[in-house]
Amino acid sequence: MAQVEKRGGLLRKSSASKKPLKEKVVLMYDEIFMTEDPSKCSPRFWEELFLMKVNLEYLEGKLESLDGEELMKIKDNINCLFQHCIQALGEEHPIRVVNALQTLCALIRGVHQKNKSTSGFDIINMLMGFDKAELCMKNLMESLDSLLCAEGSESLKSLCLKLLLCLVTVTDNISQNTILEYVMINSIFEAILQILSHPPSRREHGYDAVVLLALLVNYRKYESVNPYIVKLSIVDDEATLNGMGLVIAQALSEYNRQYKDKEEEHQSGFFSALTNMVGSMFIADAHEKISVQTNEAILLALYEAVHLNRNFITVLAQSHPEIGMVTTPVNPAPTTPVTPLGTTPPSSDVISSVELPLDADVQTSNLLITFLKYSSIVMQDTKDEHRLHSGKLCLIILTCIAEPMRHRKKAADKNLPCRPLVCAVLDLMVEFIVTHMMKEFPMDLYVRCIQVVHKLLCYQKKCRVRLHYTWRELWSALINLLKFLMSNETVLLAKHNIFTLALMIVNLFNMFITYGDTFLPTPSSYDELYYEIIRMHQSFDNLYSMVLRLSTNAGQWKEAASKVTHALVNIRAIINHFNPKIESYAAVNHISQLSEEQVLEVVRANYDTLTLKLQDGLDQYERYSEQHKEAAFFKELVRSISTNVRRNLAFHTLSQEVLLKEFSTIS
């Protein structure tokens, strides 16, 4: 007997002499693509259609194969199919609901492919007709909301989220997707929150829910009032916020795990250092970079949560026992290959995988540490443009995290076995500073890095929090950065205004000089600051000579260099005050090379005669503003994420055999 094989909706016998036979569902699709109403000759046409297993590939391909004029001829039938899909979502029989959801996916994608050059309004007209669009979308969104909130099938909920992601990402620029106006009016925000706050649903659908929310928040966010932005900004339910944080932490943790696996293959010790908060967060001299695709979709979700919702800050430090627990997944799904910009959700085994502990004795982690580990890996190699943008997003998130810290009171010490989390942030910033002084100088990232440090210092000063940190490492890194700027003056000035960065660095030192006694841990720490300035006086002298030279010329850098000249006044006063006294001490005591303790002795004995100028505004900074500074960056970022989410909604992810197995019988 000849074997039967199926291709593109055709049933072929192995004998070439026989004509191929079409599946019944394909024949029904062909009837829809005629100009006549298919239900005229067959009154039960629509009822029967949704009992047939959907052939996504054929339906979508058929829509794409028609030109605009041909498509317009069958517009009424397309409208009718769309409306019957929505009606089928209310059916009791789950197979009909599954088939309706999948058919809607194919319709939306197929029609959009044909209408790429036209406006969103044409797509709305083609799918449902202008006159019925409002009611159609209201019914669709209500049905999806009900399915997502019901206690029914998790597979159905998954397909609902896939359809919504398909709807949102059907255009590269989501703000041009006018269908989303109806998603704004008929909000599914509460359904998304319910998924995130309910552990079983969150484990199954949390990733898709978080990515969907992040994309919806970005619809016309600068042009109109986006209800998802408004609602996200006021969420204060602890279970919901923690649920969102857990989903993000798990996705970032999966990236860290993948990196760790690759790092072990390369037999490098980098990641082991990350497991210790005190340890270095970078490889300075990695000969071979280890590449793991980054996940901007989940980073965007973290950014929106931190930026919009001030209550989310508390989630960052919340321990996540669910990440720390060791459990074995029942049926782990194979990991889907991650496309560039990594918008594919992590495999299901990630949800119950072990998060890397901070040290050998701690079995839980928190979102901030997981994010810092992620950032440290991403920031290793910023020569690649994509990773440069990813590093920029990490620093923007850190900027947003640093600002709200000033609203929080210092937590009481509870005999914690580790340093405050802010030390880990400072570690990351210090390591970034010392490892990125290179020919392709990432100026923008350096500016953001110094801004993060400055905002943290402003918080320490305002709240008079004495932070036990190895400040010398920061001072040394900043001085080395100044030396790099000076030694590469000609090359860097051809591309960048290095005086903006130099001024920020000098003002960090001014911040320590003026207010260090309020936040440095001990008086000796303040003495060490002076020692470091005196020890490295040649670097500050060279900087002064450089900016003085350029500020006295009539070139383009005159004003920028002049600001640095004025900012150096107190640093120069310290050097000019103490150096003669140190030299005198050495001469009187016949010592050719003074020890650190001897220099500190001179410093302590001569504070009283030092005169410094009061500098205003050192503890002031410009608040972060996305719309005014970062709108273009986020527009391109969301476009990339939208494109890749759409690519990952491939046929195999929509045609889920598990659905048909789950609903194999109709009662």
- Summarize pLDDT for 536-548 with one digit per residue, the tens: 999 999 999 999 9
- Helix/strand/coil for 366: strand
Domain ranges of the chain: 470-622
Q: Is the pLDDT of residue 403 over 70?
A: yes
Secondary structure element (H or E) that encloses residue 35, with its range:
none
Q: Which candidate, 132, 142, 28, places its Cα nearest to that of 76?
A: 132
Q: Read off the tokens for 83.
A: 């409306």
What is the Cα 542 distance to its own chain's centre?
A: 40
pLDDT, tens digit, for every residue of 223-273?
999 999 999 999 999 999 999 999 999 999 999 999 888 888 775 544 555
Q: How many CB atoms lie within 10 A of CB 619?
A: 16
| pLDDT confidence band for 584 (50 / 70 / 90) | very high
Cβ contact 478:505 at 8 Å: yes
Q: Which of 3-17, 74-88, 239-253, 617-631 has the lowest mean pLDDT?
A: 3-17
Using CA atoms, how far apart are residues 233 and 249, in angstroms rounded to an integer?
20
**pLDDT at position 279, please?**
40
- pTM of the predicted model as reported, rounded to 2 decimal places: 0.84
Using CA atoms, how far apart are residues 222 and 596, in angstroms rounded to an integer?
56
Handedness of CA 25, 27, 33, 35 (dihedral sign): negative
Q: Is the pLDDT of residue 333 over 50?
A: no
| pLDDT confidence band for 281 (50 / 70 / 90) | very low
Residues 6 or more apart whose CB falls under 8 angstroms from that of 616 comprise none
Q: Which DSSP letter does residue 155 get?
A: H
Q: Is the pLDDT of residue 118 over 70?
A: no
pLDDT, tens digit, for every residue of 149-174?
998 788 899 999 999 999 999 888 99
**pLDDT at position 571, please?**
97
**pLDDT at position 2, please?**
46
Cβ contact 533:512 at 8 Å: no
Q: Which of 98-107, 381-390, 646-655 has the lowest mean pLDDT?
A: 646-655
The crossing angle, in degrees rounded to 10, of helices 238-265 and 296-308 is: 140
End-to-end alpha carbon distance in the chain: 35
Percentage of residues of the chain with pLDDT beyond 90: 60
Using CA atoms, how far apart are residues 174 and 180, in angstroms rounded to an integer?
8
Q: Which DSSP letter does residue 310 get?
A: G
pLDDT, tens digit, for every residue of 476-509?
999 999 999 999 999 999 999 999 999 999 999 9
Using CA atoms, how far apart are residues 354 and 237, in angstroms rounded to an integer?
26
**pLDDT at position 342, please?**
36
Using CA atoms, how far apart are residues 100 and 88, in angstroms rounded to an integer?
6
Cβ contact 318:338 at 8 Å: no
**pLDDT at position 349, please?**
32
The crossing angle, in degrees rounded to 10, of helices 94-114 and 56-65 is: 30
